[in-house]
């Protein structure tokens, strides 16, 4: 976390943390402060040592495609990903760790499909093997689907790029909006219902 030597790096991951009580809320504020002061390097960062210290009262998920477990699964490192999942269970408690599945299947500019479908299958296997609850979420970046174009313009502003810049940051689909969660498969309705249970934890 205190290593600021790298200009660009792929050794960081997204993580979703939710406070389940006042202690968790305090710890979430503490982690946010540390990430933006001690850990800041191009973006807010924390490491697992700090995360473990302030884990009480928090709920955690495996996160989106940019999460540690998803990235590891997609690299076909199943044993390593399972070890990571057990770490989160040990640190946060089995009842406070969820595998996060999503339902947006876009394509990249080169025609390659999003790996989300493949990831969901790998997460489902982990759910069966390790008895970890799954929760269906949406990678929400704007409220309505018609906001996709405006969001793309704002990404260009944020990253200092033009709309026609080659290899600029772009989302792989236009379904990162709030309505998409209502389109989720009937087979995943139970996992959607877990969102409600988590919100009342």
How many domains, in total, are found in the chain?
Answer: 1
Q: Which of 82, 139, 58 is nearest to 46 (CA)?
A: 58
Q: Which of 55, 80, 127 is nearest to 46 (CA)?
A: 55
Q: Block means of pLDDT (10 residues each) for the chain, length 201 residues? A: 59 90 97 91 88 97 94 96 98 96 70 84 95 85 78 87 82 56 53 61 62
Q: Which of 11, 43, 46 is nearest to 27 (CA)?
A: 46
* pTM, full prediction: 0.78
pLDDT value, residue 103: 76
Distance CA(64)–CA(188), nearest Å, equals 16
pLDDT value, residue 145: 75
Asked if the structure places residue 189 within a domain, the reply is yes
Asked if the structure places residue 87 within a domain, the reply is yes
Residue the block writes with tokens 């996060």 = 100
Asked if the structure places residue 96 within a domain, the reply is yes
Asked if the structure places residue 82 within a domain, the reply is yes
pLDDT value, residue 33: 96
Asked if the structure places residue 104 within a domain, the reply is yes
Residue the block writes with tokens 């993580």 = 15
Cα dihedral: 152, 158, 160, 162 (round 10): 10
Which residue range forms the structural domain that includes residue 98? 62-139+179-199
98: β partners: 61
pLDDT value, residue 160: 87
87-137 pLDDT per residue, tens: 999 999 999 999 998 876 666 666 678 888 899 999 999 999 999 998 888
Asked if the structure places residue 159 within a domain, the reply is no
**Distance in Å from the first CA to the final CA of the chain:** 30
pLDDT value, residue 41: 76
Asked if the structure places residue 93 within a domain, the reply is yes
Which three-class secondary structure state does DSSP give residue 30?
helix
The contacts found for 110-117 with CB under 8 angstroms, 24 or more apart, are 114/65, 114/172, 114/173, 115/65, 115/74, 116/65
Burial label for 106, CB within 10 Å (0-12, 13-18, 19+), is middle
* Pairing status of strand 97-101 against strand 16-19: unpaired
């Amino acid at each position: 976390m205190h290593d600021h030597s790298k200009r660009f790096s792929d050794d960081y991951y997204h993580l979703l943390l939710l406070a389940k009580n006042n202690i968790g809320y305090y710890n979430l504020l503490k982690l946010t402060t540390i990430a933006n002061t001690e850990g800041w390097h191009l973006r807010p960062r924390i490491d697992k040592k700090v995360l473990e210290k302030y884990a009480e009262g928090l709920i955690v998920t495996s996160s989106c495609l940019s999460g540690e477990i998803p990235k590891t699964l997609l690299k076909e490192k199943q044993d390593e990903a399972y070890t990571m999942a057990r770490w989160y269970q040990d640190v946060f408690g089995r009842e406070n760790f969820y595998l996060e599945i999503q339902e947006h299947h876009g394509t990249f500019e080169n025609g390659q499909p999003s790996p989300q479908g493949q990831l969901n299958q790998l997460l489902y296997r982990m759910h069966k093997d390790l008895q970890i609850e799954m929760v269906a979420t949406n990678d929400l970046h704007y409220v309505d689907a018609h906001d996709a174009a405006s969001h793309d313009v704002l990404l260009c502003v944020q990253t200092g790029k033009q709309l026609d810049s080659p290899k600029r940051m772009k989302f792989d689909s236009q379904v990162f909006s709030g309505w998409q969660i209502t389109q989720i498969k009937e087979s995943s309705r139970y996992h959607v219902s877990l969102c409600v249970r988590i919100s009342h934890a």
